Structure formats: structure tokens, C-alpha cells
Amino acid sequence: MRKNIVAGNWKMNKNLQEGIALAKELNEALTADKPNCDVVICTPFIHLASVTPIVDAAIIGVGAENCADKVSGAYTGEVSAEMVASTGAQYVILGHSERRSYYGETVEILEEKVKLALANNLTPIFCIGEVLEERQAEKQNEVVAAQLASVFTLSAEDFGKIILAYEPVWAIGTGLTATPEQAQDIHAYIRSLIAEKYGQEVAENCSILYGGSCKPSNAKELFANPDVDGGLIGGAALKVADFKGIIDAFK
């Protein structure tokens, strides 16, 4: 059976000391009151080596927010999947809409990143989702189908190792959340595409997270949908009370 997962995406927030303090506080809260789902925190690269040893790996997984599309070498400023893995991190967010739109990440670049992440035993949290104009033109299904091309070249075995996150770009950081019906409809569609490509069993086992202005007040009704297996959380992951409130939606 697929897992329920709540993953935090810190984005470019928190300096090292603040990040360590946040990770410690979250670890204390979740050690005292154990979650009923997998919990992951994805942090800036520089935090990874400090955060991994201070969280209980049985309760909180740690991940990066990106990795390079090259193995190693003269790529000034880049951080490879192997480097991420060497910090003890186990996950990496790939294809976030902010990476696609501000840093020009294409289907082809993301295909390379996913392969390198898997080659280094990192679990990709692969993000897909449409922008507002595409939703208004009712093109969301074709948009996510095209974005899935980056992961639909994987073998069934490798596809079985990834987590998907559907994040409508119009809902990210805007306070506008997809309705539970909108989320369920497109998650079911995404799962149907996986079933077509890899068969029913692989589709049933794939965790598909919802992201975009997820909060303690709306998490429960979003996660209650049969095809919504948790959330990818931005703003609300920066405060332990809010992040835990979302994690507790599974209680």
C-alpha cells in the first residue's frame, strides 16, 4: 500500500542557525507525539549536513530542494545528487514550479535530475502542476501529462521509487487552495496515467501529494480524498505548530 506523506519545503528561508532550531523543535514535537504518516523536511543545501544528525531518522526524513543535472565536474555553484546523498539526506524535490519558471528547468533537464537522484538512492519528490491561465483554459490535464514525460521514461521499478506532488501554481503561496474536488479529480487523472503506463499495481502504490497553500485548517479535507496521499507544504512548514497541525490531519 502507498504511504501517506507530509513533506515540508523550506524554500530559501532560514539561515543555518534558524534552520537547526526549527528542525530541533520539530523533532521534539514529533518525538513527543508520533505522526501517523511519513514526515520529510526539505531544506536548503547548506542545512542538510547539520539537520540530518539532529532529527530521529525513524520519524523525520530529510531532503534537498534541488540537485544538479550533471554527475560532477566544472559546474560552478551546482550541488550534485551524490553530494546531497553524502549528507545523509534521502529525498530531493525536483521540478518544483519555481525551478521550472525562474531557472528554466525543462522536461529534459528534469529527466536527467531524476535519474541522477535515483542513481544515488535519493527519493525524488517530483512536482507537476499548471499555471492559472492553463487552469482557466481547462488545460490542466494536458499540462501535467506533458510534465510527467520526465519520469515516464523510467523503468517500472524505478518509477515505483518516486513520490509525485501535484501543485497548481496558482495555489502556491497565494492563499488560494484547490478545492478538495479539484485536487481529487486531477490526482485521480494522474493515477490513471500511471496505470496506463505502468499498470494498476504501480499506480496504486504511488504516493501523490497535494501542494499549494495547504494549512492545518484545510489539510484534513484535502487528505481525506482517496487519491490525495498527503501534502508538500511551503509556508506552513516554517512554523512547527502549523506543520504539525497538517501532519495531525492523518490522526
Nearest to 21, CA basis, from 248, 216, 238: 238
Helix (H, G, I), strand (E, B) or coil at 165: strand
Only segment of 24-32, 100-108, 130-138, 209-217 that touches ligand PGA (CB under 6 A): 209-217
Q: Could you give the string, one character per residue 128-167, with x where binding to ligand PGA holds by CB under 6 A and - elsewhere?
A: ---------------------------------------x
The yes-or-no answer on residue 96 being catalytic is yes
Distance of alpha carbon 57 from its chain centroid, rounded? 18
Q: What x/- string results for residues 6 through 25 when contact with ligand PGA is judged by CB under 6 A?
A: ---x----------------
Nearer to ligand PGA, 172 or 194 (CB): 172
The answer to whether 242 and 215 have CB atoms below 8 angstroms apart is yes
53 vs 173 by CB, closer to ligand PGA? 173
CB 231 within 8 A of CB 246: yes
CB 211 within 8 A of CB 232: yes
Confirm or reject binding of residue 230 to ligand PGA (CB under 6 A): no
Q: Which of 96, 105, 130, 134 is catalytic?
A: 96
Among 5, 122, 228, 233, binds ligand PGA (CB under 6 A): 233
**Stretch touching ligand PGA by CB under 6 A, among 17-25, 58-66, 190-198, 234-242:** 234-242
Report in angstroms how near the CB of residue 8 gets to ligand PGA at its nearest: 9
- By beta-carbon proximity to ligand PGA, the closer residue of 172 and 247 is 172
Number of residues engaging ligand PGA in binding (CB under 6 A): 13
Q: 182 with 162: CB under 8 angstroms?
A: no
Burial environment of residue 102 by CB neighbours within 10 A (0 to 12, 13 to 18, 19 or more): exposed
Interface residue with ligand PGA among 232, 240, 246, 249 (CB under 6 A) is 232
Q: Which residues of 180-192 are buried (b: 16+ CB within 10 A; e: fewer)?
A: bebbbbbbeebbe
**How many Å apart are CA 87 and CA 116, to the nearest integer?**
16
| Contact residues: ligand PGA, CB under 6 A | 9, 167, 172-173, 211-214, 232-236
Instruction: List the catalytic residues.
Output: 96, 167
